[in-house]
């Protein structure tokens, strides 16, 4: 009967349940697949560790919370069928979800496409909203506690394991089983001794979204202390800006994972509704990926295509940012006309604040500093245009790159690959290069995008982000400065611009023969 430490093994009986295979071990007990012999139904049976079950405070909380969970009626929360005590052991019997958990899926198959990740977390948010409405705080949202069912080619997510949940407003009873929560997914205020509530669950849900997008927890470290301090101090992780979908996901991450609980979504329902709006966006031209690039990738024959997704329908006219209930990221000026209804936001986890230098249009009196820079670039491109056009017509590649400017598409090596140390610095260089490139193309749509990309990256590499901000070409938020200015202030750009522009033109000309 005994498998280990007095725990029942396969074939043993506990009350009305016949024990089957062991499914997992948690801080409070062991979970088995079991047969409810009264109803002839397979269940997930958690048997509480004896020394924890003997604690009087725990038993009181176990009964109260099991009753609350059993009353939950949610399509995205694991249903509790029964609970009780048999042979001196506390147990709780729940719905058996057969296809493993999100953590196992990520480990086996890598991260899913961005819209599928958003879709899955919107389902979890729906379940969390139902739990909060029933008065329950989960306190341990993480990939291992999200179970998945593949039914007729569709992935359904269920929030489970409320083993350390408590009711809203209930007294904080002693946790006999150890640490409350998982440090990698806990809100900053919990690390600092604060009390769990709906806002801390929402933060954990934001961490879960990032883990699903990237295949890893938002903050890592060699010690728990390093992880804790990262949650408290480090910027919120962001996707590289590959298009409107990535920009909107970044906004959701910044709202859900705001360091200040008051700045997060007001409810799990608000986050759910926002996610459902985001999942309707079309995929970006380039697949969304973490800005730091350190993420797992899907493997062949991965199952992520099974997630149920609505057909994306682009909105023809501008609309307000989705979900009026959720705190909106501050708007700011974009370097080129944005797609309708979507606001572009920068990576790095900071809400941009408009400054006098970034909010002006420059008026109609002539080009500002950035306009002068773009004008020089366009003249230089025109000078090499005849040769370049001839090469492209004869079979050149529009996406050719390389050369001194690190050109090509946004996937090719550029300023972020030039030994800057990566991380936040690389993100700033990437954002600065994208802003310059977009402004060049916006000023003259006939400009070859590969040339503009190559030149923008080269200028950032040769001059540096800080210098571009200092002389007023870029604002503090790394947007192109459209305010009027004197081109003489940026005279030191002439030499690197000449070098970079002709190197990029030359690299594109040489590409077909390489």
**Other CB atoms closer than 10 Å to residue 479's CB: what's the count?**
26
Check if 140 is active-site: yes
Please report the DSSP string for 124-162 in residue order.
HHHHHHHHHHTTEE----SGGGEEEEEETTEEEEEE---
d(CA 196, CA 330): 28
The single-letter DSSP state of residue 347 is S
Spell 125-144 as b/e; 16+ CB within 10 A means b. Answer: bbbbbbbbebbbbbbbbbbb
Catalytic residue (one of 126, 130, 140, 274): 140
What's the number of CA atoms in the CB half-sphere (13 Å) around residue 508? 32
Please name which of 156, 25, 165 lies closest in space to residue 102, comparing C-alpha atoms: 156
Beta bridge partners of 166: 137
| CB distance 242 to 284 below 8 Å | yes
| CB distance 478 to 465 below 8 Å | yes
d(CA 56, CA 53): 8
Could you tell me how far CA 293 lies from the centroid of its own chain? Answer: 13
d(CA 313, CA 358): 32
Helix (H, G, I), strand (E, B) or coil at 8: strand
| CB distance 248 to 271 below 8 Å | no
Phi, psi of 164 (to 5 degrees): -120, 20
What is the layout of strands, in order, in the sheet containing 41-48? 13-14, 17-25, 29-36, 41-48, 89-95, 80-86
Instruction: Find all residues with CB under 8 Å of 233, minimum gap 6, and list them.
Output: none
CB-count exposure of residue 393 (10 Å: 0-12, 13-18, 19+): exposed
The single-letter DSSP state of residue 54 is T
Q: How many residues does the chain have?
A: 514
The single-letter DSSP state of residue 402 is B
Helix (H, G, I), strand (E, B) or coil at 506: helix
CA distances from 276 to 126, 201, 243 (A): 10, 19, 18
Q: Which residue has the tokens 């440090």?
A: 183
d(CA 206, CA 349): 13
Q: Which residue has the tokens 């995008």?
A: 449
| CB distance 170 to 20 below 8 Å | no
Task: Give the residue numbers marked as catalytic.
Answer: 140
């Amino acid at each position: 009967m005994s498998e280990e430490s007095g725990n029942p093994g396969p074939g043993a009986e506990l009350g009305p349940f016949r024990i089957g295979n062991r499914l997992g071990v948690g801080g409070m007990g062991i979970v088995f697949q079991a047969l409810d012999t009264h109803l002839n139904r397979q269940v997930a049976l958690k048997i509480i560790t004896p020394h924890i079950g003997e604690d009087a405070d725990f038993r009181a909380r176990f009964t109260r919370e099991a009753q609350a969970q059993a009353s939950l009626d949610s399509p995205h929360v694991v249903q509790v069928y029964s609970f009780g005590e048999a042979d001196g052991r506390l147990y709780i019997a729940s719905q058996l979800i057969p296809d493993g958990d999100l953590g196992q899926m990520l480990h086996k198959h890598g991260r899913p496409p961005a819209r599928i990740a958003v879709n899955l977390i919107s389902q979890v948010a729906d379940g969390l909203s139902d739990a909060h409405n029933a008065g329950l705080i989960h306190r341990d949202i993480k990939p291992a506690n999200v179970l998945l069912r593949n039914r007729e080619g569709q992935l359904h997510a269920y929030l489970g394991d409320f083993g350390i949940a408590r009711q809203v407003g209930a007294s904080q009873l002693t946790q006999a089983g150890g640490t409350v929560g998982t440090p990698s997914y806990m809100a900053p205020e919990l690390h600092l001794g604060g009390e769990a509530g709906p806002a801390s669950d929402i933060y954990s849900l934001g961490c879960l979204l990032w883990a699903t997008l990237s295949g890893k927890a938002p903050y890592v470290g060699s010690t728990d202390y390093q992880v804790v301090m990262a949650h408290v101090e480090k910027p919120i992780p962001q996707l590289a800006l590959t298009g409107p979908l990535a920009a909107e996901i970044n906004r959701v991450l910044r709202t859900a994972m705001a360091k200040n609980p008051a700045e997060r979504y007001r409810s799990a329902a608000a986050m759910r509704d926002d996610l459902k709006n985001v999942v309707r966006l079309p995929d970006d031209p380039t697949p969304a990926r973490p800005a730091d690039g350190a993420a797992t990738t899907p493997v062949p024959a991965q199952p992520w295509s099974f997630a149920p997704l609505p057909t994306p329908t682009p909105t023809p006219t501008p609309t307000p940012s989705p979900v009026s209930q959720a705190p909106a990221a501050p708007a700011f000026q974009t370097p080129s006309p944005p797609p309708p209804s979507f606001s572009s936001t920068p990576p790095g986890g900071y809400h941009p604040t408009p400054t006098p230098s970034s909010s002006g249009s420059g008026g109609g009196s002539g080009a500002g500093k950035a306009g002068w820079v773009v004008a020089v670039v366009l003249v230089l491109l025109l000078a090499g245009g005849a040769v370049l056009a001839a090469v492209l017509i004869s079979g050149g590649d529009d996406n050719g790159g390389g050369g001194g400017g690190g050109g090509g598409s946004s996937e090719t090596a550029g300023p972020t690959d030039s030994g800057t140390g990566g991380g936040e610095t690389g993100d700033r260089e990437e954002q600065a290069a994208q802003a310059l490139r977009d402004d060049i193309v916006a000023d003259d749509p006939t400009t070859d995008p590969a040339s503009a990309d190559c030149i923008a990256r080269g200028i950032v590499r040769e001059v540096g982000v800080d210098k571009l901000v200092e002389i007023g070409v870029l604002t503090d938020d790394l947007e192109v400065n459209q305010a009027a200015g004197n081109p003489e202030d940026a005279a030191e750009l002439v030499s690197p611009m000449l070098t970079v522009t002709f190197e990029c033109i030359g690299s594109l000309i040489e590409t077909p023969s390489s």
